[in-house]
Structure 1
Amino acid sequence: MKRPVVQGCCLWISGYVLAIYTELPWLSWTTSALLVAALAAIYVLRLPGRQPLGALLLVVIAYGYYQGTDQRNITALPLAQQQQVGEAGSEVTLLGRFASPVTIDGDRASFTLEAESVRFNETTAFPLGGESVQVSLRLMEQAQQAVASAWGRGDALTLTGTLRSPSPARNFGGFDYRRYLRLHHTHWLLSAKGVDQAQVQPAAAHFSVVQLLRWNDELRAALSRRMDVIFPASQAGFMKSMLIGLTDDLDPDRFQQFSELGLTHILAISGLNIAVFLGVCIWVLRRFRMAKETYLLICMCLLPFYVLVTGASPSIVRAGLMSMIALYAARRGGMKEVLHILAVAAWAMLVWEPYFLLDVSFQLSFLVTLGLILGVQRVTHLLSPFLTSPTLRNTLAITLVSQAVSFPVSIYYFNQFSLLSWLANAVLVPVISMIVFPAGLVALALGLLYIPLGQRLGLLISWLNEAIFWITDQLQQIPYLKMIWPSPSIPWIYFYYGFLILIYVLWHRIHVSATDEPPIMLDRSSGKNAKKRNVQLSLLLTIGGFLILLWIGYTPNRFQRTGVVQFIDVGQGDAILIRTPYGKHLLIDGGGTLSFRKAGEEWKNRKDPFEVGQKTLVPLLKKRGIHRLEMVVLTHEDADHSGGLQAVIEQIPVKQFLFNGTFKESTSVTTLFSTLVQKEVPLLPAQVADWIHIDPLTRLQVIYPLETNQTEVEIVKEQNARSVVFLLEMQGTRWLFTGDMEKESEAAVLAYLQDHPGLIASDRNSWYTARGAAATKDSSSNPYIDVLKVAHHGSKTSTTLEWLAYWNPAVAVISVGAMNTYGHPSPEIIDHLMNAKAGIFRTDRMGEVQMEVRKEGIFTRMKLAY
């Protein structure tokens, strides 16, 4: 058997994959242990057919090992108490120890608690056995930042707060925080207010694993503080991320820019850092004339500490393990097969933590490394007829291989790809890896010895960084080269790698034939030339199939002829995405995060605060493959409707922007309109006019505001009463979108429609004919709509009985935040809707609500069961 370790690792991963997508409850750690004994017996007894049988058993053993781990990943809290806590939360007191350093960001301190017990209002305490709990402590005064910063890993803690279950994904394809925490063996969140809720007892100073990790935390914090002094403030976060893996101070905009250009691996500690670190160590030790065995042993001992100092992410752990194995092999003259070393590292990590397989850092690190091992030398050889420079040939091969191998995983998680990514990597990676990173290490070392010396070198590095940032700024501004990809399916990814391998094999055969090497297969009937033509034809067909695959992956819903209205859950706000039957996309509002900061509370501001547009809405739009928005409708300019649109406008092309024709004086709204003007997006003040046709089956009609000043923009502070209200007809269905309109606005619209009966009912008879049996309500008295978006999140300031009686909706959707402090939706409005016999859908209880228009009618699905 060739490469048994590699094959065994692949079989082990196959078992994990089967366990992830299927479930066999009878397979567990116990059955895996029994099968390990059986596997050993098969090989000891040298039974016939042991290799295929052993391979099958290894897959089943891995299946049971993963499932056994997953079955034990549960909370120790009794079921009755779990039900008492739920997502609403319950007041408790936790006793335990800090299991992570404390991170201070504005008015929030966050850390992981290793909980020993939990006490509810009763006197009984329930043991948790060291279960991890994620804690968020709100700081009430600026002085509390210093108090929380003094806490460290291993300190005993008694903390009173609200314990709750993490929220699952509330939108289709959205980030699942509950699943994320579970994969990190965490099942509960605790939120508390003020350090006075915490009683902390410093840990005793004695050598232990916890104390070692605490020293590592303190070392990382000390290095971070020193780098703040060495490097300019605007670049300190960038250098921290690159040198020691600290991303807390990294500029979010810079990270977004590097992400769009496919350069995030530069900001992640990985094999490059290990290689430079080992190179420096070996160079220094050899200057002391140490024997090879000695300095290799010293480097092996230093690597674990370097991995810890740089954060021990899966990518750096992989690189560290591989380097330690390679150093050991070089010292003993043993295993030198790089694939074996990679397989041993992967196997060891997956046995230690099976959930690593689901970590994007683990996946990309091993995939790219595998691709570089298998592909660079071969691709370099294939490029030799076209490029004479060995350096250029090798650089291009590394870039092409890493880009091709990482592409499907990157778009699966990040949903974007720049056509300039290969150029950015080819130009910037050598500069950063060969100059900036080593020089940064030297500057840090010198700064630890003598700060002014480190600062001088840090200044030189900052000039080079400024040049790098200028290049990335220019590359990012080139239009039409940033592509948004929907998350591909798992079969699509398999086909992608299959086509990639087949293209390489066929290209290699043509190249071998062109160099007059012996043919791979002897074709006596047609000879060598005919064989070459067949291979060339096969290559062309394979490339064609590969391009079709990419085309399908880029627009998987190209031929879908159904309209979909998606009421996205953005908390207390509105964000509605519409896909028309011809693939046009409209976005109504963008949600937003309300801020209640007062003057003098700037210390509460966070470095990377949660913003609905950036953290929720834009990722969802990208994941669904929204390449362009045909129209964005801003019903009004309150923050819970307009705030998230800033990120949308910045990252997704918009054809036109419809708004209420007014302006609300605020920093965020000013920035939004400035960005729209800068990007040359047409601004359309809403007005009652003719129908706006979106595609052959979709059109919309503005019915409020009734009059818009076309010559100048009016400044309006209170925006609810000026909300854009419009009727949408799509594929024989009618939808009414109301923003946050109020009772007075509703009365004005009803009066206007009674005076202008032909405005929205010009083809009413034909519409009812098209609807047929689906139009079950009385169509002779009032207009009929299929779906009403209830105004102002169900507030009692709108949705009057007269409004409902006029429109006679079949279904009502309320976009409202879970556990909001406003009491929305009002019980009175719920009663109105029930009396109108309208079906009610609510995002606070159901999460995202999607309604698909088919020939048979409207089909609805909800993210959360209710």
Structure 2
Amino acid sequence: ASLLTGILLGVETGIPADLMDDFSATGTTHIIAISGFNITIIAGIFAGLAQRLFGRRWAVWVAIAGVAVYTVFVGASAAVLRAALMGILYLWGRHLGRATFAPASLAAAAIGMTVLNPYTLWDVGFQLSFTATIGLVLYTGPLERIFERALARFTSAERAQKIVGLVNEALIVTLAAQITTTPIILHYFRLLSLVTLVTNFLILPAQPGVMIWGGVATLLGLVVRPLGRVVGWVAWVFLTYTIEVVRLTARVPFALVPVRMDAGMVWGYYLLLGGLTWYLAQPRERRRRLWISLSSRLETKVLVGASVILLVLAFFAWRGLPDGRLHVVFLDVGQGDAIFIQTPSGRQVLVDGGPSETVLLSQLGRQMPFWDRT
């Protein structure tokens, strides 16, 4: 029941702590947070019911009203507002008979939210939601074509398209979102899930069943409780499957590994990703000319190589500079205590070291730059 409440309403307070840890370890906490997926389901339900009851003319207006009420009901966080605004813009465009341009809708939603509250830019939920949507918009289509071409080597093109259609939501969409959200996750949480693609592939197909049957059971339970309980058993099947898969994959060795990514690395990643995306978006002939132009000159090769080396050295030197904050880290050295302190000026202090020198050195190696072993 607590997980169903979390998926439907984004409320995490009743979910057991160990289950939340498993969701975090598998990179699947997004199914508990309200997102565009929830908004799509809500809009579809309201539009479908309104079209049957009032006709097609009123369906869009009822869907917009339903999305607005649902957004307020679940708390209207930054991620929910982004999803709701994009959903409303899509519905409005459909009402006007115009195709919506996803990047424009995303930009409009982001501008509207930051004008009302500039601090939204520093909200982690907004950053993850915004970058995930960018990933879906930019990379879902190209990834689909890559998968289709790869599968077409082993089967017919028609069958390859069908296979990609089956795994699109569970695998390709997840991968597209991971491309743009991983740096932010590593920056804030410093943990990388190695089983997230597999887990999402297994549980995402069950989530429409959770939302639809869970929502129907909740509404029926308000009117006829016994009938709501009967329908709730259908939702229970999907929920149980989700929980068992998450618990199983969370216990895979090295499912979650510590990885640090500071702000400079995040910006560098996005700059490289943006440049690569722009290059690959060019027509094939222009890409070929650009590549020949860059690779045919010896001076260019030397300059590029030297620039890369200097940038790498400058990056590591900059990363090693103190950030003006006090850092206190309690190291896991087994029995005993070990505390690593870095002062705002960059001085390092180790308090105690535990019983094992090998374990201590391993823990210190994770906290200090690779060239600093003083």
Shared fold by TM > 0.5? Answer: yes
Distance 2:86 2:33 in 1: 17
Written as runs of structure 1 = structure 2, the 5 A alignment for 1:662-673 is none
Written as runs of structure 1 = structure 2, the 5 A alignment for 1:276-675 is 276-288=41-53, 290-333=54-97, 336-387=100-151, 388=160, 389-392=163-166, 394-395=168-169, 396-432=171-207, 434-486=208-260, 488-505=261-278, 513=284, 519-520=285-286, 523=289, 568=328, 577=330, 588-589=336-337, 633=354
Written as runs of structure 1 = structure 2, the 5 A alignment for 1:95-114 is none
Instruction: Rate the CA distance shift 1:285–1:477 in 2: closer, same or farther, 3 A.
Output: same
Question: CA offsets per residue over residues 625-657 of structure 1, 9 Å max, x none?
Answer: xxxxxx995xxxxxxxxxxxxxxxxxxxxxxxx
Q: Does the 8 Å CA contact 2:209/2:238 hold for their aligned counterparts?
A: no
TM-score by length of 2: 0.75
Specify the SS of the correspondent of 1:328: helix
Written as runs of structure 1 = structure 2, the 5 A alignment for 1:239-258 is 239-258=4-23
Distance 2:206 2:294 in 1: 42
Alignment-mate amino acid for residue 413 of structure 1:
Y
**TM-fit CA distance, 1:243:** 0.8
Distance 2:10 2:292 in 1: 56
Q: Does the 8 Å CA contact 1:384/1:393 hold for their aligned counterparts?
A: no
**TM-fit CA distance, 1:334:** 5.3
Distance 1:462 1:632 in 2: 49
Distance 1:360 1:567 in 2: 21
Question: CA offsets per residue over residues 464-507 of structure 1, 9 Å max, x none?
Answer: 32222221122111112321122x22221111112223444555
Written as runs of structure 1 = structure 2, the 5 A alignment for 1:635-784 is 693-694=357-358
Instruction: Rate the CA distance shift 1:466–1:521 in 2: closer, same or farther, 3 A.
Output: closer
Alignment-mate amino acid for residue 466 of structure 1:
T
Residue 344 of structure 2 is matched in structure 1 by none
- Work out whether 1:260 is the aligned partner of 2:25: yes
Written as runs of structure 1 = structure 2, the 5 A alignment for 1:55-70 is none
Q: Does the 8 Å CA contact 1:383/1:393 hold for their aligned counterparts?
A: no
Q: CA RMSD for the aligned pairs? A: 3.8
**TM-fit CA distance, 1:301:** 2.2
Question: CA offsets per residue over residues 796-838 of structure 1, 9 Å max, x none?
Answer: xxxxxxxxxxxxxxxxxxxxxxxxxxxxxxxxxxxxxxxxxxx
Q: Does the 8 Å CA contact 1:577/1:586 hold for their aligned counterparts?
A: no
Question: CA offsets per residue over residues 301-341 of structure 1, 9 Å max, x none?
Answer: 22221111122121111111122222222223457222221
Distance 2:204 2:293 in 1: 41
Q: Does the 8 Å CA contact 1:329/1:335 hold for their aligned counterparts?
A: yes
Instruction: Rate the CA distance shift 1:386–1:533 in 2: closer, same or farther, 3 A.
Output: farther
Residue 649 of structure 1 is matched in structure 2 by none
Specify the SS of the correspondent of 2:149: coil
Q: Which runs of 5+ in 2 are unaligned?
A: 152-159, 342-351, 365-371
Alignment-mate amino acid for residue 249 of structure 1:
G
Specify the SS of the correspondent of 2:150: coil
Distance 1:590 1:464 in 2: 45
Instruction: Rate the CA distance shift 1:508–1:382 in 2: closer, same or farther, 3 A.
Output: farther
**TM-fit CA distance, 1:384:** 2.3
Q: Does the 8 Å CA contact 1:382/1:508 hold for their aligned counterparts?
A: no
Distance 2:58 2:293 in 1: 56
Instruction: Rate the CA distance shift 1:440–1:328 in 2: closer, same or farther, 3 A.
Output: same
Alignment-mate amino acid for residue 267 of structure 2:
Y
Written as runs of structure 1 = structure 2, the 5 A alignment for 1:66-85 is none
Distance 1:365 1:567 in 2: 29
Distance 2:254 2:210 in 1: 30
Question: CA offsets per residue over residues 273-319 of structure 1, 9 Å max, x none?
Answer: 1100111111112222x343311112222222111112212111111
Question: CA offsets per residue over residues 433-491 of structure 1, 9 Å max, x none?
Answer: x21111111111111121111112222322332222221122111112321122x2222
Residue 745 of structure 1 is matched in structure 2 by none
- Higher-Rg structure is 1
Alignment-mate amino acid for residue 269 of structure 1:
I
Distance 2:80 2:33 in 1: 8
TM-score by length of 1: 0.34
Question: CA offsets per residue over residues 382-408 of structure 1, 9 Å max, x none?
Answer: 332113123146343312110111101
Instruction: Rate the CA distance shift 1:521–1:240 in 2: closer, same or farther, 3 A.
Output: closer
Distance 2:251 2:63 in 1: 44
Q: Does the 8 Å CA contact 1:261/1:417 hold for their aligned counterparts?
A: no
Q: Which has the higher contact order (CA 8 A, sep 6+)?
A: 2
Specify the SS of the correspondent of 2:257: strand
Alignment-mate amino acid for residue 129 of structure 2:
S
Q: Does the 8 Å CA contact 2:280/2:287 hold for their aligned counterparts?
A: no
Alignment-mate amino acid for residue 348 of structure 1:
G
Alignment-mate amino acid for residue 370 of structure 1:
I
**TM-fit CA distance, 1:349:** 1.0
Instruction: Rate the CA distance shift 1:335–1:500 in 2: closer, same or farther, 3 A.
Output: same
Question: CA offsets per residue over residues 754-793 of structure 1, 9 Å max, x none?
Answer: xxxxxxxxxxxxxxxxxxxxxxxxxxxxxxxxxxxxxxxx
Alignment-mate amino acid for residue 246 of structure 1:
V
Distance 1:529 1:415 in 2: 36
Q: Does the 8 Å CA contact 2:337/2:353 hold for their aligned counterparts?
A: yes
Distance 2:216 2:262 in 1: 45
Specify the SS of the correspondent of 2:286: coil
Alignment-mate amino acid for residue 242 of structure 1:
I
Instruction: Rate the CA distance shift 1:590–1:282 in 2: closer, same or farther, 3 A.
Output: farther
Specify the SS of the correspondent of 2:100: coil
Instruction: Rate the CA distance shift 1:503–1:854 in 2: closer, same or farther, 3 A.
Output: closer
Distance 1:399 1:854 in 2: 39
Higher helix share: 2
Distance 1:464 1:331 in 2: 34
Distance 1:398 1:239 in 2: 23
Alignment-mate amino acid for residue 274 of structure 1:
I
Question: CA offsets per residue over residues 14-67 of structure 1, 9 Å max, x none?
Answer: xxxxxxxxxxxxxxxxxxxxxxxxxxxxxxxxxxxxxxxxxxxxxxxxxxxxxx
Question: CA offsets per residue over residues 534-585 of structure 1, 9 Å max, x none?
Answer: 8xxx9xx99xx8xx99xx99xx77xx9xxxxx994xxxxxxx746xxxxx96
Residue 369 of structure 2 is matched in structure 1 by none
Distance 2:129 2:335 in 1: 36
Higher strand share: 1
Instruction: Rate the CA distance shift 1:329–1:492 in 2: closer, same or farther, 3 A.
Output: same
Alignment-mate amino acid for residue 420 of structure 1:
V
